[in-house]
Structure 1
Amino acid sequence: MQIKVGTYYSEVWKKAINNWNSKKVFRFKIVSGPAQITIIPAQSNEATLIKQNLVGVAYVDHDDTKRIISVKLHLVDTLLKKNGYTTSQRVNVAEHELGHAMGLAHNPSKQSVMYKTTRYVTIQPVDVKNVRNLYSIPASQYFINPPVTVSSTTNNALITDGAGDRLYKSPFESETVEPTKEAFW
């Protein structure tokens, strides 16, 4: 992971990274050169983000197999300041965006850092569980030949092949604890 923001936001992101790393389900590593995850400063589309009232954004690129190949993360300082976000609330938003970088979707529970409008909630046991479950899927199932469709309900995602046959469990269904996955992005 490469951080390309100023001192204040660099510290915000480092706190969020350390918080996720302390959960021992995923390991982010900060590097000085190019990386798969890049934390970026304000972009040319900042005005659009402000109009959409987005305080944080994760731009996630996938390959043909739906595997994450690169992520750009951004906090919208203008809105964070305007809405009076404290440093700890900004860390919560950064934790949320890092969740997207790991592949997590929004969680309908307001007691999850992955809730769509998180501000007051840090990483919760449900978020740790969902990362464990997401990365417990066997690697052989990451590369599926038939077309894959995703449909979601309020609390789970069902992945099926073109015939509608279930391919693997939702990240919300299993209690299995798997070893830590490391990402040297």
Structure 2
Amino acid sequence: MRKRMRLVLVMLAMLLTLNLGSVAQASSAATPFSSHRWRHPEVTYVYNTKSTYYRSIYQKAIKAWNKTGDFKFVAGTAKSHDIVLTTSTATTGKYNMLAGITFTKADSVGYFTSATVKLLRKNLATYKYSKSDRVHVAEHELGHVIGLQHSSNSHSVMMANNRYNAIAGVDKSAVAKRDLMPVGKSSLSAQ
């Protein structure tokens, strides 16, 4: 009887360990990245908004990404820039319920050539996003500029529909991996 009980306890312990391992693995899931990337891990930006408030939102998000050391955003000029950082009051159609949106263009090889990031002011106000929330949205959208995709990781800034996460280790790691992969290869093709 004792032998049987010991066997049952060992089996329960093994099942619990396996189950906890998969939970830990799910919470540390890597942030996925697209097959497109910039030729160099540095891009130039310009603002297309006169709002000092939203410029400060973008500045904080840029500072956070630059602090990771794996990708750099540098101020450009009206004549020479890679990305445009702007705002919009649009709230219908494809903008319905979004806090921000990013549009990228790539060449035939797969290198990004330009991007536009829009923070949607009316939606941010309607859904009562704090300044910190708005910075996280800007960080998320800049993650798309870098080439990151939506993540299922509950700590990632790239988790869709989440205003609370800042850039996490899984996001920083994905940026470093993205730059090591050849253009045309995504995180899914790396597995």
Q: Aligned pair 1:16/2:47, yes or no?
A: no
Which residue identity is paired with 2:171? D
**TM-score, L = length of structure 1:** 0.73
Q: 2:188 aligns with which of 153, 157, 163?
A: 157
Q: Which runs of 5+ in 2 are unaligned?
A: 1-44
Q: Residues 92-135 of structure 1, C-alpha deviation per residue, up to 9 Å, x if partnerless?
A: 00000000000111111121000011200000000000000000
Runs of 4+ off more than 3 Å? none
Q: Aligned pair 1:40/2:86, yes or no?
A: yes
Question: Which structure's relative contact order is higher, taking Cα pairs within 8 Å and 6+ residues apart?
Answer: 2
CA RMSD of aligned residues (A): 1.8
Larger % of strand: which?
A: 1
2:169 maps to: 125
Query: Does the 8 Å contact 2:148/2:158 carry over to 1?
Result: yes
Query: Does the 8 Å contact 1:113/1:121 carry over to 2?
Result: yes
Deviation at 1:46, TM superposition (A): 4.5
Deviation at 1:47, TM superposition (A): 2.5
- Cα distance in 2 between the residues matched to 1:97 and 1:84: 19
**Which aligned pairs between 1:61-72 and structure 2 lie closer than 5 A?**
61-72=105-116
Residue 134 of structure 1 aligns to a residue in which SS? Answer: helix
Residue 75 of structure 2 aligns to a residue in which SS? Answer: coil
Which residue identity is paired with 2:84? T
- Cα distance in 2 between the residues matched to 1:32 and 1:12: 19
Q: Which structure has the greater CA radius of gyration?
A: 2
Q: Which runs of 5+ in 1 are unaligned?
A: 151-155, 159-168, 171-185
**TM-score, L = length of structure 2:** 0.71
Query: Does the 8 Å contact 1:3/1:30 carry over to 2?
Result: no
Which residue identity is paired with 2:167? I
Number of equivalences: 145
Deviation at 1:18, TM superposition (A): 0.3
2:147 maps to: 103
- Cα distance in 2 between the residues matched to 1:33 and 1:17: 18
Query: Does the 8 Å contact 2:91/2:123 carry over to 1?
Result: no
1:80 maps to: 124
Q: Percent identity?
A: 28
